[in-house]
Structure 1
Amino acid sequence: MIIEPIQSVLGHLYTVGPTVAGWIPRKDPATEWVGHVDDPEVGGITLRGKVHFHSNPLSDPTVSTLLVLLHGLGGSSDSTYMRDAAKDGFQMGYDVLRLSLRGADASGQDLYNAGLTADLHAAIASPQFSAYQNIVVMGFSLGGHIALKAAVEGLDKRVKSVVAIGSPVDLSPGVKVLDGKSRKIYREYILRELRDLYAAYASQTGRAETPLERVQKVRYIREFDELTIVPRFGFDDVEDYYQKSSVGPVLPDLTIPCLYVGSTYDPMIPRRLVEPWVSKAGPNLKVIWVDDGGHVYFPMVDLGFGERRGVVAQSLSYVQAM
């Protein structure tokens, strides 16, 4: 049996290793996707992503299931875990959309936040995806939080299930962990991306609610949210944002079957912060904890669903069996 301190170290290695490996250039078989979402404050926003099609979904009646992937904080459709998940889903027969939330494509049109589900709703409603009879949504980290939030609100009836992998459910204590001294390497990696996204937003829109020079000096996630997300979306303060956006308290209101998969030794989303909420979620949420892996990255785990190993393949096999 592996003792706990070693598992904790492995949690860090499983988090960092695949990310670094993803920096090696590789061919992307996907094609560009462009969509649209209307925002009540700023008007029309262009959404972007990458799609993997087996054939034309509008002309091929055999195409039936679309897998929609959502990235985490500071990520995009090009994140390593998004590309790996798309490969697994495609090999299992799914067509796949890797969605970049607004601004994550560095277009600068707007900013996304942890409770903003409009982009997911708009992507699913895109005419390009009207032929699909079934849709599965899978979100990683913050993307899983957004997916669960949308499942509480009520998704398109074609969405049969939602999968959240390594996702926070209670934002304020989760951010406190990320802002801790021992998580500086992860925090700075995320903030580097967020500062760049805000710079593009300030340049493109001219709506920068906080001067760019101030945001570029940010060194904590809470500080970034306070200076950018709060004024952009009209929250009273950062705690108001976290309280109104957190999905944990409303998990009992899930409208469709959902699956949550987390690592006991996730260095960014501690199990102790997630478990109290998911344990009270009710019958529409199945929860699986893996005593291995890191943040959104896992070894070739077997969760007991189907022959294909790996957290994405196993999760999709579970969904297919429902």
Structure 2
Amino acid sequence: MPSQLTAPFNPPLLFKNPHFQTIYPTFARQHQPFIKWQRLELNDGDFVELALNGALTAEPLPIVIMLPGLEGSLESHYIKRLLGKISQLNTLAIVLHHRGCGQSPNRLWRSYHSNDQMGLIALVNMLKAQYPQRPLFAVGYSMGANLLANYLSAHSEITKAALISPPFDLALSAQMMNDGVRRIYRRYLLESLKQRLINKIDVFANAPLSLADVKAVRSIAQFDELYTAPGCGFADANDYYQKASCINKLATIQTPTWLLRAVDDPVIDPLPEDFQAKLSPHVYTQITPYGGHVGFCDSLLAKRSWLDKMLIQWFALEARKGENKNVIKTNKNAV
């Protein structure tokens, strides 16, 4: 295990509750850095939106690519919090929004899915072509971590990566969200997904689905069967889950990668028994007893986060002493 990853996660008693870990950070007040928005066109006629905390230059300094989870965005607590800290270090970061999750709905009838790599491939190719001397770091959260793991299994352009709370078995994760208190998370995510699809139906005159079809959906698996799978070229939801789950891709990752998961994660599937056998030697795993789903908080103070501290250490980010003058300073008055 690299020395940057040896710090244990020992939260106070209150933070040992997985639901508190998962939910509390969403209510914490965060400073919003100034952001520049940019569209990135894709080969299929669609686009994704990038949120940058500065201007791209040829300086040989690292760029951090951030991939949110399902229905996540610049407003997600884990994105906003780390982005603010990266900005204070004068380091450039780019939030890669999934199709339709930025400022504007995407053009096509289809949306994004858990292995929709087209945006990430386009972004990395653009950065490597225009700024070949700049190291690229990438951190993916939840579904974004699953997507990033799939990408890393076949590409080596990224210098260093982090996978935070990645689901391994998408079918099992979807099924488990129908159980007990997990339905809280299902309801939150499903309402957002359904509303996004309803908005599409209002725009597309020949939409193949009706409002009644969408309103009848009661689970993530039903949503994926109705819309995600057929819209993105899969035979059905099971075909989608099988092809998009990252568990069988971890063995071929060649990029130094930190993988962090909590045993008490209340959102995603539990660790499989043969998990360690499926790992590449380049993947450094840290499994903590506590942490919830993309939580890993150890203080009620929003600015303090064990997760952010570890990510900054893993990527060896340091204050640049104004070297990258194109990074936009944090807006201290923003919420």
After superposition, give the CA deviation of every residue in 1:193-219 in whole Å (9 maximum; x if it has no partner): 111221233334446343232113312
Partner of 2:280: 282
- How far the C-alpha of 1:17 sits from its partner, in A, is 1.0
Counterparts of 1:240-255 in structure 2, within 5 Å, are 240-255=239-254
> What TM-score, normalized by structure 2, do the two folds share?
0.80
After superposition, give the CA deviation of every residue in 1:80-110 in whole Å (9 maximum; x if it has no partner): 2111121233334421111111122251434
Structure 2 counterpart SS, 1:272: coil
Contact 2:174/2:221 (8 A) holds in 1: yes
Partner of 2:105: 107
- How far the C-alpha of 1:45 sits from its partner, in A, is 1.3
- How far the C-alpha of 1:70 sits from its partner, in A, is 0.6
Partner of 2:223: 224
After superposition, give the CA deviation of every residue in 1:105-133 in whole Å (9 maximum; x if it has no partner): 25143410011111111122336983251
Q: Please list every run of 5 or more consecutive structure 1 residues that lacks an aligned counterpart in the other structure.
A: 1-5, 302-307
CA-atom RMSD, angstroms?
Answer: 2.6
Does the alignment pair 1:13 with 2:10?
Answer: no
Structure 2 counterpart SS, 1:248: coil
Counterparts of 1:121-270 in structure 2, within 5 Å, are 121-126=121-126, 130-131=130-131, 133-155=134-156, 157=157, 159-206=158-205, 208-270=207-269
Q: Please list every run of 5 or more consecutive structure 2 residues that lacks an aligned counterpart in the other structure.
A: 1-12, 318-335
- Measured in 2, the distance between the counterparts of 1:78 and 1:128 equals 27
Contact 1:66/1:134 (8 A) holds in 2: yes
After TM superposition, the structure 1 stretch with the greater mean CA deviation from structure 2, 74-83 or 221-230, is 74-83
After superposition, give the CA deviation of every residue in 1:246-294 in whole Å (9 maximum; x if it has no partner): 1101211113121111122111124434x63355212021100122222
Report the identity percentage. Answer: 23
Partner of 2:69: 72
- Measured in 1, the distance between the counterparts of 2:33 and 2:100 equals 21
- Measured in 2, the distance between the counterparts of 1:231 and 1:240 equals 10
Contact 1:103/1:201 (8 A) holds in 2: no
Does the alignment pair 1:316 with 2:321?
Answer: no
Contact 1:52/1:90 (8 A) holds in 2: yes
Q: 1:278 to 1:49 in 2, by over 3 A?
A: farther
Structure 2 counterpart SS, 1:35: strand
Bigger helix fraction = 1
Higher RCO structure (Cα 8 Å, ≥6 apart) = 2
Partner of 2:5: none
- Measured in 2, the distance between the counterparts of 1:263 and 1:30 equals 31
Partner of 1:304: none
- Measured in 2, the distance between the counterparts of 1:48 and 1:84 equals 19
| Paired letter, 1:73 | L
| Paired letter, 1:280 | K
After superposition, give the CA deviation of every residue in 1:38-58 in whole Å (9 maximum; x if it has no partner): 12xxxx1121131112xx432
Q: Once superposed, which parts of structure 1, at least 4 consecutive aligned residues long, lie more than 6 Å away?
A: 6-9
Structure 1 counterpart SS, 2:286: strand
Aligned length: 297
- How far the C-alpha of 1:221 sits from its partner, in A, is 0.4
- Measured in 1, the distance between the counterparts of 2:237 and 2:271 equals 22
Contact 2:111/2:232 (8 A) holds in 1: no
> What TM-score, normalized by structure 1, do the two folds share?
0.83
Contact 2:149/2:249 (8 A) holds in 1: no
After superposition, give the CA deviation of every residue in 1:17-62 in whole Å (9 maximum; x if it has no partner): 111335x8x54422212211112xxxx1121131112xx4325x2x
- Measured in 2, the distance between the counterparts of 1:276 and 1:91 equals 41
Contact 1:35/1:126 (8 A) holds in 2: no
Contact 1:37/1:45 (8 A) holds in 2: yes
- Measured in 2, the distance between the counterparts of 1:263 and 1:207 equals 44
